Amino acid sequence: MDCPIGLQNGMCKGMQRQKEKSMSKSMMSGQKTGDVDKRIRQIGALRRQMNAVILAHNYQRPEVQDMADYTGDSLELSRIAARSKERVIVFCGVRFMAETAAILCPEKTVLLPVLDAGCPLADTATAEQVRQMRAQHPDAVVVAYVNTSAEVKAESDICCTSANAVEVVHSVDARRPVIFVSDRNLGHYAGRMARRRMILWDGSCPTHAGLSVADIRQAKKEHSEAKVIAHPECLPEVLELTDRVAGTAGMLAHAAEEPPGTAFIVGTDIGLIHRLQKENPDKTFYPASDYLVCPTMKLTTLEGVAHSLVRMEHVITLKESVRARAQAALDAMLAVR
Ligand code: SF4
């Protein structure tokens, strides 16, 4: 298998070079169809038995996305979790996502199948650091990207996602500066679009910030007919070379709107290409770089999900004082329009 998450040759030909480029074998699906079907049937039975709903982020492995009840971005999935009738939520993603579900669904049991599935971007900010930053800029409004811990959200005034960062930043009183935690590239983009004074956190997503101008130029050379879409966590100079800047939900919506035959160079984790291709079989999607793979997003496997349901682990718990303040920041975001 050439592609680390099981995409087909041709659609993702750059993946054929992954092995030489030291991509971890642990990211590979490596499972035969029969094994996958058997595991999915087992998960289906466990899910009914445990009264669980399974949510998978758009960057998860293809077979995990296909097995899940719902796929989407982190906030979309947490909203689904909040509306769901099931008592258990299995969140196939990284820790801050499961925490967001736990913030919005305090009465439910939220499981993260792999305890080590963290987010290096979220890890760049602690609650204490945010308190110190606020003390240095007492007139500032703290906007926390959803890619932060529950403790950091609890220290913020309002949250945002990659989809609504511009609107949230724009909603801030123009006379007050914005402390934007945690992704400086998204903060830079939102501040530029909303014309607000920004104090940017020194954090970035290693996957998206690793995409270079040279990568985009090379992809355009190889696929001159393709439109370039990229995530706002990418570097500002990369975003300048794109046709559209959008989060994963925005990319899915944009791809659906374009006419059949359109080709796209996709500047986000290659996990999204599985869903883009599935929902748009008449269009073509190329990864903007072979390196657009978030390693922690690929830690969750079908086996891990089954294990999680059997053992009911790992349960995400939050202190109520933290949860309630974090929910207030999320509620403030939901009130913006
Ligand atoms: Fe974190 Fe980046 Fe991975 Fe998303 S893609 S989970 S921001 S490291």
Residue nearest to atom 7 of ligand 1 (CA): 205
CATH architecture of 208-293: 3-Layer(aba) Sandwich (3.40)
Work out the percent of the chain whose per-residue pLDDT is above 70. Answer: 91
Q: pTM to 2 decimals?
A: 0.90
Task: Provide mean pLDDT across the span 244-260.
Answer: 97
CA 273/CA 254 separation, integer angstroms:
13
44 CA to middle of ligand 1, Å?
A: 28
CA 82/CA 80 separation, integer angstroms:
5
| Atom number in ligand 1 closest to CA 120 | 8
The two tokens of residue 182 are 């945690």
DSSP per residue over 122-177, as a string?
A: GGG--HHHHHHHHHH-TTPEEEEESSS-HHHHHTSSEEE-TTTHHHHHHHS-TTS-
CA 69/CA 66 separation, integer angstroms:
8
Output the pLDDT for position 34. Answer: 80
Domain ranges of the chain: 122-207+319-334, 208-293
Task: Provide mean pLDDT across the span 204-214.
Answer: 98
The tens digit of pLDDT for each residue in 61-92 reads 999 999 999 999 988 998 899 899 999 999 99
Same fold across 122-207+319-334 and 208-293: yes
Enumerate residues lining ligand 1, CB below 6 A.
94, 119-121, 147, 205-208, 269, 294, 296-297
Residue pointed to by tokens 């769901």:
84
Question: Which of residues 84 and 14 earns the better pLDDT score?
Answer: 84
The tens digit of pLDDT for each residue in 153-186 reads 999 999 999 999 999 999 999 999 999 999 999 9
Spell out the residues 6+ positions from residue 315 whose beta carbon is closer than 8 angstroms to its own. 109, 110, 111
59 CA to middle of ligand 1, Å?
A: 9
Output the pLDDT for position 7. Answer: 47
Strand partners, 267: 230
Residue nearest to atom 6 of ligand 1 (CA): 119
Confidence band of 30 (pLDDT split at 50, 70, 90): low
Question: Which of residues 125 and 24 earns the better pLDDT score?
Answer: 125
Residue nearest to atom 3 of ligand 1 (CA): 294
The tens digit of pLDDT for each residue in 192-201 reads 999 999 999 9
| Alpha helices (runs of H) in the chain, residue ranges in sequence order | 33-50, 62-67, 74-83, 95-104, 127-136, 150-154, 165-171, 184-194, 206-209, 213-222, 236-239, 248-257, 271-279, 302-311, 320-334
Spell out the residues 6+ positions from residue 334 whose beta carbon is closer than 8 angstroms to its own. none
CATH topology of domain 122-207+319-334: Rossmann fold (3.40.50)
Residue among 294, 275, 321, 318 nearest 121 (CA):
294
Mutation test of ligand 1: which of 58, 119, 269 has the most ligand atoms closer than 8 Å to its C-beta? Answer: 119
Residue nearest to atom 1 of ligand 1 (CA): 119
pLDDT at 13 > cutoff 90: no
Specify whether the CB–CB gap between 182 and 209 falls below 8 A. Answer: no
